[in-house]
Amino acid sequence: MKIARTIAEARAFIAELREQRRGKDAGNLVGFVPTMGYLHEGHASLLRRSRQESGISVLSIFVNPIQFGPGEDLERYPRSEEADLKLAEREGVDVVFLPSVQEMYPEERKTTVTVTGVTERLCGASRPGHFDGVATVVSKLFNIVKPDKAFFGAKDAQQVAVLQKMVNDLDMDVEIVPCPIVREEDGLALSSRNVYLSEEQRREALVLSRSLREASVRIENDPNATPRRIVEDVTRAIQASPIAEIDYVEMLSFPDLEPLDEELGLTNLRKAGGSVILALAVKFGSTRLIDNAIMKLKEAPLHV
């Protein structure tokens, strides 16, 4: 496993591997998993997928300052290079790109990649500028690594939607591969930020996955479910926790992230076989957690 700390090294290592593995079927395809480090089993699942589907597997670890807003957790974001490198080695990564902030932003940056529309709601509304920072750094990373496929976790569902739109609009020659959310046994979605949680907060945070699961069952089985009723159910369940502070609970079309028609309930979407996302962001103390469920709607079962 090679460790590149500069852009030039990363390019050279990847070019060398591409050259060595030429002609071996898809042996010289590059799979890429961009992360902010402090890797957990969710990241490991992305790396396994990348290893399976690509001859060359690349991981980047970079806590990207421009996607954090003022007052967010940039300073305390957890880091553990040694453990990350061990996990990467175990998952068969070929090249780890570990740049410094100075390496990524050596001069005053004047260029921004902006995606409108899909960024207007959910985290885009709560964290102004966040997705500009994400789209800009991912553009840079794609230009450095030149991957054929890039793997992203569905926990950051809006991020996946934003990056897919960016790739389409700018004709980037890379396939965005969304991968399922990985959860603890008790349901909590894995996140590097879970480490911030106290014991009580960790216990209370289970309300997120539980309420999403219950809502999914209702969406699947209750022909009278409307977006508003589903959002009300989830909101009520979360408010029952004395320490949960809701940022948003929203149900939108997926991947467009547009509001659903309340009047029509989910009937038309069911007929069209559309997909919806039920997404939430909730604070426990100073720790903000996100989770979601994406569902492809089927025609509601008849009650006979």
From CA 186, how far away is CA 188, in angstroms rounded? 6
Binding footprint of a second copy on the chain (CB under 8 A): 7, 11, 107-118, 135-136, 139-140, 143-144, 146, 165-166, 168-173
Tell me the two tokens of residue 166.
Answer: 């960016």
Residue 242, preceding peptide bond in cis (omega within 30° of 0)? no
> Residue 159 annotated as binding?
yes
Catalytic site positions: 43
Give the H/E segment covering residue 152. Answer: strand 149-153
Give me the residues paired with residue 183 across strands: 189
> Residue 153 annotated as binding?
yes
From CA 175, how far away is CA 164, in angstroms rounded? 8
Report strand pairing: 244-254 vs 275-284. Answer: antiparallel
> Residue 209 annotated as binding?
no
Residue position matching structure tokens 């349901």: 187
| Minimum distance of a second copy from residue 111's CB (angstroms) | 4
Closest listed residue to residue 237, CA positions, set 205, 284, 194: 205
- 278 CB burial (10 A radius; 0-12, 13-18, 19+): buried
> Residue 164 annotated as binding?
no
| Minimum distance of a second copy from residue 167's CB (angstroms) | 9
Q: Which is nearer to a second copy, 142 or 196 (CB)?
A: 142
